[in-house]
Amino acid sequence: MMSNRKPGLETLSVHAGTPPDPTTGARQMPIYQTSSFVFDDADHAASLFNLQLPGFIYSRLSNPTVSALEERIAALEDGLGATATASGHAAQILALFPLMHPGDEIIAANKLYGGSINQMGISYKKFGWNASFVDPDDPENFRRAITDKTKAIFIESLANPGGVVVDIEAVAAIAHDTGIPLIVDNTMATPYLCKPFEHGADIIVHSTTKFLSGNGSSIGGCVVDSGKFNFAGRDKYPSLSQPAPEYHGLTFSETFGDLAYTMHSHAVGLRDLGACQSPINAWITLLGIETLALRMERHCENAAKVASYLETHPAIDWVSYAGLESSKYFDLRKRYMPRGAGGVFTFGLKGGYDAGVTLVDRCELLSHLANIGDTRSLILHPASTTHRQLTEEQLKAAGAGPEVIRISIGIETVEDIISDLEQALTGLELATVAE
């Protein structure tokens, strides 16, 4: 029966990429904690290094445990191939590496994680890459920003930290009209809530550290290729469409077809950038993904209740959560994420910056730290932490102004989460009155 139908997301989350070990019969994927792999003979080694045979050479390039994670994430996203990386930031660099050359540019949404804005706006310049940022609320802003040097558009499906939902199909249409790929960061939504490839995205990136792992223990990232963007014959992307001198003139798009982008990411990107994911982190993330659907369901359920509670609290000026009917992204959320609006959102305190710093210190159940997607509820004041490197204008554009609190709702009993916020907010109100 299973062979006659496509497995559901819950089934793929448990089984994809991890059949029983053929040698030992181990049902759980082993951790292949090794740096390198023995060749059968000299010809076998040569074929592997020439990319003529699939196999394992060195764990910087590929590793069985990491490959299992790549296969699982690709299956969840309905992708053709994937490349696991050392972190989400490494995934963003690796995603662009086959596309960009010095002097090239990307167009990115200005509503992104603050670290991504900093990476793209400042650090990318050291590669000779340029980034321009536009407001994604109007997709036509991307079209207006495109030049002949533009190699990709980058958005988040559900933006960190404010829960902004982007019209993926509209942005994808603009990207494809001008012959460039759309890259979507799907970290916050996960494939449980959103499938960007179904809406026209070409490449997906993840910080696997967050909801995919789900336990706050393992740093990692992943780049997923849809295989639908045709790089063959496109001089705009010479790394994929022209002969590669280090592989005896092999042309990735001709030799590997739909897998050209993923093969280049392993054979060149991981080889030269070295941003590989460790086997132990991949193994822990595989375990986390097994419960992704169950966790996301509870994250969304709890977050909706907490957001509704905060929306009516006298100390709160506003709540930005796409699951609330008051959100301007409510309709887009129903279209792209019908299962829920995720577990992360922001709210604004009437007391501003000082109130934000005080609130995070007063919470007891909620942990004050710089992460999201954990089973535990987490709280952060972005302006004083993750987004502090941004200018005041960038802070506001990213939805991380001085009064903003970011909250990542966990899977605890929701009444306990609300009770902790209540005591922290009440204490804050009393302190404000005393002042």
What is the residue extent of each domain of the chain?
A: 2-288, 293-434
Residue 160: name the closest of 92, 217, 66 by CA: 92
Query: What is 293-434's CATH number, 3.30.70.270, 3.90.1580.10, 3.40.190.10, 3.90.1150.10?
Result: 3.90.1150.10
Contact 63, 32 (CB under 8 A): yes
- Between helix 292-311 and helix 414-434 the angle, nearest 10°, is 30
pLDDT score, position 309: 97
Instruction: Look at residue 433 in the predicted model and tell me its pLDDT.
Output: 45
Q: What are phi and psi of 176, to 5 degrees?
A: -75, -30
Please answer whether residues 391 and 117 qualify as being in contact, where contact means their C-beta atoms are separated by less than 8 angstroms: no
| Alpha carbons 297 and 295: distance in angstroms, whole number | 5
Give the DSSP letter string of 145-208.
H--TTEEEEEEESB-TTT-PBP-HHHHHHHHHHTT--EEEE-TTTHHHH--GGGGT-SEEEEET
pLDDT at 382: 84
Residues 6 or more apart whose Cβ sits within 8 Å of residue 259: 80, 81, 225, 227
Which residues is 223 bridged to in the sheet?
Answer: 83, 205
Q: Residue 299 forms beta bridges with which residues?
A: none
Residue 206 to residue 223: CA distance in whole angstroms? 7
Residue length of the chain: 435
> Is domain 2-288 in CATH 3.40.640.10, yes or no?
yes
- Over its length of 435 residues, how does the chain's per-residue pLDDT go in tens digits? 456 788 999 999 999 999 998 889 999 999 999 999 999 999 999 999 999 899 999 999 999 999 999 999 999 999 999 999 999 999 999 999 999 999 999 999 999 888 899 899 999 999 999 999 999 999 999 999 999 999 999 999 999 877 899 999 999 999 999 999 999 999 999 999 999 999 999 999 999 999 999 999 999 999 999 999 999 999 999 999 999 998 989 999 999 999 999 999 999 999 999 999 999 999 999 999 999 999 999 999 999 999 999 999 999 999 999 999 999 999 999 999 999 999 999 999 998 888 998 999 999 999 999 899 999 999 999 888 876 777 777 777 767 788 999 999 999 999 999 999 999 998 676 555 444
Q: How far apart are CA 316 and CA 311, in angstroms?
A: 7
Spatial separation of the C-alpha atoms in residues 77 and 5, rounded to whole Å: 17
At residue 190, φ and ψ (nearest 5 deg) are: 65, 160
Cβ atoms 355, 391 nearer than 8 A: no
CA 345 to chain CA centroid, Å, is 16
CA-nearest of 29, 34, 82 to 56 is: 34
Which residues are bridge partners to 323 per DSSP? none
Radius of gyration of the chain (CA): 22
